[in-house]
Chains A and B, each alone.
Chain A
Amino acid sequence: MRTVSEYCPHAPRNTGHGVDARLYWVSNHFSIHVRDFQSTLDGMVAYAVLFSLLFLSSFASLPAGGLLEVYRDSLLRTGLVTALALAVIIVYVRFGTKKALRFRFARARESLLASLSALLIWTLIWTLFGELSGTYRFASEPTRIGLMPLALCVGLLNGLLVYAYCAERFITGLGTTVGILISSLFGWLLFLAVSVDFALYLFPVVLVLMYVGVRTESPIGPTAATSLLMAFFYAYFAVSPWILGSRQVGYWFMTIVSVASAFVALSIVAKLPFGVASHGAKQAI
């Protein structure tokens, strides 16, 4: 481009190529291009199965009970439905698709280290900001504390489905950026489904974990980190004192700080020597 400008007799003073390049980058990364039809379809089938089963389970009339029973039933329902969805997907992979299921266990150690580092960095920055600024503090729901192991199991099942199967299919089918974004969104929805309080501010960290899973080419780390995240935030939640005074402002502010913390965590983890090549680079078509 510069060469052309040099020979152009009336070259514009400001070409604005920088803006064009940025727009091209955004459009290239975030517009949906189907690269592999079958893989995209496989990912969609998995989520369609999961959320259809969840929808059907919402019609099941659960017996009226106390708080503990309500929380336990909600977790059990999501856990059982996710397990059933996993079973259906295994059958689908065996008989309904040409693409074989490949679990990647080879880089489990790197994946675990990278995921736990990302989780630690995000938690540290987010919590420190809350503590030092007095913007938010952690509170516990005593009834839910006893249900943490169950929440951990639900998180594990969620992680297996999202990171080990769906993410791989979507990234192969739709490319790295869109694949990560869509898989994270679907995966995060399960936090909502089990009524994790203030679930919105966990989305950025789920996104980072998805990136780590893709980069290290192993779902083990993100699955373990998601289980921890699910178990902790099921029993404890961050509450902003602002909430007492002004509506929703504290909540949105905490979400923005979470995005910033996740961005820092992502930047740091990206520089750590955990992954060699990106998964997307190998899968790119």
Chain B
Amino acid sequence: MEQSRQSRKVLLVALLAVILVLSIFVSLKLDFDTRDRLFQSVIRDSRDCMETFQKLSEVTPADAVIFSWWDYGRAIQDYGRRKAVVAYPSRDISQSIGASQNPVYAVEMALFGTYDSSEKIHDVARAFVLPERESLGIMRKYAATHVMVFQGEDGRGAFDDLQKFYWIARIAGYNASDYVRINMTSPTPGYELTSKAEQVTMMRLLFDERFPPQHFTKLYENSVAKIYRIEYTTSADSTLQSLDELCSVPARIGSLLACPTKRVGPAQ
């Protein structure tokens, strides 16, 4: 009788532990679900941003594949109804996500988050930092047909690729300050492009009037974003593509060829 009562109590404590763990799980899931919807909601609140995605579905064919930083991937799919190359971060770059500064959210992301492959994220970052010709190889690898870059000012930096460039360059293995410097002397921080910025694909797409891109044709622009079509068919690109293919053959043969060297080197 006494043993049965004891067993009942042990069972009760075990059940309490299970309910506690499940309750923590439920709370974290609800919090994650709400936070996960926030960026999409910020986009919905911006008339210009929604107009951009609406235009995306008008100026691009239905089978277009859009190359952009991962932040915008889900909006491209949900609001622009086009396929995005990346729509989620990779696990190894989670520290670049603002919300991960909150340890609770970092746990939620680890538990419930969706992730893209690390290789893809690093490739996209590299494509934005490298010079145009080298970026095209990466864009072709993912069958991208169009590129979207964001220049919007919403006060949160949500649609500002220049603000995100620090992390994009870092993820690509480069030093952002080699290309853009933050000017802290003015009340509102401004950005100064360095002489090397001209070589960077993202800068050419963001500041196309200053550094006109060679392999991208602008289809649309508003205060938030720019949409470009990727021009793979130029002869220069074909030559480079052929060289890239040759250089990708085993090292012994590749070393005999005069393979092009990268114009933008990693940070020293």
A84-92, A155-163, A195-203: which lies at the interface = A195-203
- CA–CA, A30 and B27, complex, Å: 24
Is the C-beta of B199 less than 8 angstroms from some C-beta in chain A?
A: no
Within 8 Å by CB of B19, from A47, A74, A194, A198, lies A47
Residues of A within 8 A of B38 (CB): 67, 70
Contact at B29–A58, with CB atoms within 8 Å? yes
| Given A74-B34, A195-B35, A197-B102: A51 in contact with B12 (beta carbons within 8 A) | no
- A247 to B13 alpha-carbon distance, docked (Å): 37
Of all chain A residues, the one with the shortest Cβ separation from B22 is A51
Given A66-B44, A247-B101, A248-B101, do A54 and B13 touch, yes or no (CB 8 Å)? no
- Among the stretches A19-27, A37-45, A263-271, A276-284, the one at the interface with B is A37-45
**In whole angstroms, how far apart are the Cα atoms of A247 and B45 in the complex?**
29
Decide: A198 near B37, CB < 8 A? Known: A47-B19, A182-B20: no
Contact with A along B22-49 (1 / 0, CB 8 A): 1110111111011101101110110000
B26–A195 touching, CB < 8 Å: no
A67 touches B45 (CB 8 A): yes
**Complex Cα spacing A212 to B20, Å:** 23
Closest A residue, CB atoms, query B24? A189
Docked Cα-Cα span, A186 to B22, in Å, equals 11
Select A199's contact among B37, B41, B95, B104, beta carbons within 8 Å. Answer: B104
The secondary-structure label for the interface of chain B is helix
What are the residues of chain B within 8 A of A182 when measuring CB–CB?
Answer: 16, 20
B150 to chain A, nearest CB (A): 18
Q: Closest CB of chain B to A45's CB: distance in Å?
A: 9
Are A40 and B12 touching (Cβ within 8 A)? yes
CA distance A40 to B12 in the complex (A): 8
Of chain A, the residue at the smallest CB distance from B78 is: A64
CB-defined contacts of A69 to chain B, threshold 8 Å: 41
B263 contacts chain A at the CB level, 8 A cutoff: no
Shortest distance between the CB of B198 and any CB in chain A (Å): 30
Q: Are A198 and B12 in contact (CB under 8 A)?
A: no
Q: Which of A43-97 contact B (CB under 8 A)?
A: 44, 47-48, 51, 54-55, 58, 64-67, 69-71, 74, 78
A54 vs B235: C-alpha distance when bound (angstroms) = 60
Restricting to B44-92, which residues have a CB under 8 Å from any CB of A? 44-45, 78
Q: In the complex, A195 Cα to B38 Cα: how many Å? A: 11
CA distance A189 to B101 in the complex (A): 20
Chain A's nearest CB lies how many Å from the CB of B176?
A: 16
A34, B13: Cβ atoms closer than 8 Å? yes
Chain B proximity of A19: nearest CB distance (Å)? 27
Residue of B nearest to A248 (CB): B103
- Can you spell out 7 A-B residue pairs with CB atoms less than 8 angstroms apart? A40-B16, A64-B40, A66-B41, A192-B27, A195-B35, A199-B31, A247-B95
Chain B residues near A (Cβ < 8 Å): 8-9, 12-13, 15-16, 19-20, 22-24, 26-31, 33-35, 37-38, 40-42, 44-45, 78, 95, 100-104, 106
The 7 closest A-B pairs by CB, nearest first: A34-B9, A192-B27, A66-B45, A189-B27, A51-B23, A195-B34, A67-B41
